[in-house]
A and B are shown apart, each in its own frame.
Chain A
Amino acid sequence: MKKVLTAILIMALIPGILAGCGSKSEGSNGKVVVYNWGEYMDPDVLTLFEEETGIKVVYDEFETNEIMYPKVDAGAVAYDLVCPSDYMIQKMLENDLLAELNFDNMPNTKNIGSMFMEKSKEFDPENKYSVPYMWGTVGILYNKTMVSEPVDSWDILWDEKYKDNILMQNSVRDAFMVALSRLGYSINSTDEAELQEAKQTLIDQKPLVQAYVIDQVRDKMIGGEAALGVIYSGEALVCQQQNPDLDYVVPKEGSNIWIDSWVIPKNAENKENAEKFLDFLCRPDIAAKNFEYITYYSPVEGVKEYVEDEYLLNSPLAFPDPEQYTNCTTFHYLGEEADEYYNEIWREVQAAGTSE
C-alpha cells in the first residue's frame, strides 16, 4: 500500500517537473531573458508586452553593476537584455561582451532625446551598442525635521552632529564618488594619492555612518531612521511622496550623473526578441508607465504627456532639466588595474574599525 502511495506521489509530481522546466522557457513566440536592476520596471509592462507579442519575459534582477558583471561574464545564464550603467557598459565593451544592436528593428528608439544619445557616446562612442533607459543623479536625501541647517555640500555627511544618522551607498564607485567629490577630485580619479586620501576620508566617516545600504535607504529614510542618506535621484520622489519631510539635493561640489542603458550580451540567445522588447520600452506610453512606477527620469521624449499621476506632474523633483547639472560627471571605466585597486581600498574601508 505504501509503495502505491509513493508511486502516486511520484506520478503526481512528474507533470510538476515538466511544468517547472517547461513553463519557464517558452511563450508562443519564444522568450526574452531580461536582467535589470531591482525594482526598476513596472511589472504591468512585462504583462503588456507578453500580451502584445506572445513573447515570454524571463525577468531577473541585480543590485549593483559589480554584481551584474560576473554573471554576464561567466555566461552561465544567457541573458538577452541587460541594463548596466554607463561605466559598466564601457567595461563590457572593452571586454567584448556586447553585441551590436540593429536599430532598424527598433523604430521607437528615435524617441530617445538626442542629448542622451550624445551623452552615451562617452561610453559607447558610436551609439551602436546601447539604448538609454533611465538617467539621474546621485545626491543627498535629508529629513527637514532632523537637519536644521541648509544642505548643499557633501561635508554634512562628515558632521559629528549627525553621528549614526547617515546612510551611505554600499557600492564601491558610489562611495568613492562621494569622497572624491568632497575632496574636489575627479570622480574618475585613478591617482593613487587622491584615492588613498579618499579612502582615508571614508574611514574617518565610518564611525558616523549608521549603515552602508543600497535600496534600503528608501525604507529607512521614510521611517525616519536616519537624517541623511546618499541616494539616486529616482528614489527621492517616492520617498518624498511617502514622507513630505524629505528633500533631495545635489551637492554643490558636484556629483555623478548617470545613464542606465540597455545592452545585448554577445551570448544572447534571443536577440530579435530582445530588440522587440527594447523597442517596446522606448514607446512614450510605456516609458511613462515605468516612470510612474519607479519615478526615475526617462530619456524618452514625450513621456510627460502620458503621465497621469497628479503628484508626479506637480513635483519640482520630477522633470529636471538635465542641462542644469553642469558640475556633475559620468563615471568612466578605469581599466582592470584601477578596478582592482578600487576594490582593494573599498575592502579596507569595509573592514575598518569593527574590532570593538
Chain B
Amino acid sequence: MRKKLIAGPYMLWAIAFILIPLAMVFYYGLTDKNGSFTLSNIASISSPEALKSLVLALGLSLLSTVICLILAYPLAMILNNLKVNQNSFIVLIFILPMWMNFLLRTMAWQTLLEKTGVINQLLGLLHLPPLNIINTPTAIVLGMVYNFLPFMVLPIYNVLVKIDPNVVHAARDLGANGFTTFVKIIFPLSLPGVISGITMVFVPSLTTFVISDLLGGGKILLIGNVIEQEFKQVNNWHVGSGLSIVLMIFIIISMFITNKYDRDGEGAVL
C-alpha cells in the first residue's frame, strides 16, 4: 500500500526530533563527564535537596490536580446543562485566556496577591485581615490550578456531552434519584474524561519550573527548578539529564495508571 509512505516525512521527523533527542537525554543521564557509564546522575535524586524538591513537586501537583478536579467537575456539568451555543461559549471562556501570554497571566497574580496588592487592598477596604500567600506553596498551587484548570474541564465536558440523555432518563424512570443516577451512571461514564484530565493537569504541574519561579519568590524549589538550574546555571548536563530520566519515570507511572482506564488506546488524551 503506497498510502503508508505518505507518513514517511513525519516518521523521519519523529526519529530526528523526538527519538534521537530523547536518546541523548538518556546518554547524558547515564554517563559521566568522561563518557563512561554511571548511575550516579540518576542516584543524585537521593540527595536531600533533590529528593525534597521532588516530594514537594509531587505533593503540590497532586493537590492542584485534586483541586482542579473538584472545581472542574461541577463546572463541566453546569456547562453541559446550559446547552446554549455551548461550544463557542466554552472556547470563549477557556481558550481565550491562552491568547494572553501565560507568563504575563501568572505574573499578574503577583500583582493581585502581593502584600500591597489588589486583593489585599480590597480586603483592607472591607476591614478584613490581609491574605499572605504570595511566595508560599499555596501561591504555587493557585498558579497551577489557574493555569491548568481548562485542561481538566475540557476533557470532562467532552465526555459528558456525549452521554446519551436517554440513559439518564431511563435511570430516573426506573426510580433512581439524582444522587444515585450520578454515582451509578454519569460518573462511571465520564471516567475516561476525568482520567485524561488528571494526567493533563498532573504532568505539567509536576514538571513546571516557571510557576514556582514566578510565584514562589525564589524560596521554593521544585524538581523542575532543580533540572532547569542544572542546565542553565550549574552547567552540569549529566546530572540534569539524570534527573530528567527520574522525572520521566514518574510520568510513565502516571501514564500507566491512566492507560488502564483508556479503552481506546489511541488519542483519548484530548
Contact = CB atoms under 8 A, between A and B. Distances in A.
A347 interface: yes
A70 B233 CA distance: 7
A267 interface: no
Interface of B: 48-49, 52-53, 56, 114-116, 132, 135-137, 217-221, 226, 229, 231-235
Interface stretch (A210-218, A283-291, A327-335): A210-218
B233 A350 contact: no
B221 A211 contact: no
Nearest to A345: B49
B218 A170 contact: yes
A343 interface: yes
Nearest to A211: B217
A224 B122 CA distance: 17
Given A347-B226, A356-B137, A164 B232 contact: no
A166 to B, nearest CB: 11
A8 B234 CA distance: 48
A209 B136 CA distance: 11
Contact of B221 (A66, A210, A223, A351): A351
B135 A343 contact: no
A350 B218 contact: yes
Interface string A328-356: 00000000000010010001101100111
A108 interface: no
Contacts of B226: 347
A225 interface: yes
Contact of A355 (B49, B52, B116, B218): B52
A193 B168 CA distance: 71
Contacts, number: 63
A225 B114 contact: yes
B114 A70 contact: no
Given A164-B132, A223-B116, A347 B221 contact: yes
A279 interface: no
Given A211-B135, A211-B217, A354 B234 contact: no
Nearest to B231: A70
Interface of A: 64, 66-67, 69-70, 73, 164, 170, 206, 209-213, 223-225, 340, 343, 347-348, 350-351, 354-356
Please provide the 9 A-B residue pairs with the shortest distance between their CB atoms, ordered closest to farther.
Answer: A211-B217, A212-B218, A351-B49, A70-B235, A170-B218, A66-B233, A350-B221, A351-B221, A347-B49
Given A225-B116, A351-B49, A355-B56, A210 B233 contact: no
Contacts of A340: 234
A295 B32 CA distance: 45
14 contacts: A64-B233, A66-B234, A164-B132, A209-B219, A211-B218, A223-B116, A225-B116, A343-B233, A347-B229, A350-B49, A354-B52, A354-B221, A355-B52, A356-B136
Contacts of B232: 67, 70
Contacts of A164: 115, 132
Contact of B137 (A211, A212, A350, A354): A354
A355 B48 CA distance: 13
B90 to A, nearest CB: 27
A224 B116 contact: yes
Contacts of B137: 354, 356
A168 to B, nearest CB: 8
Contacts of B229: 347
Centre residue among B114, B218, B234 by max chain A CB count within 10 A: B218
Contact of A354 (B56, B132, B233, B235): B56
A351 B53 contact: yes
B217 A212 contact: yes
Given A70-B231, A347-B49, A354 B220 contact: yes
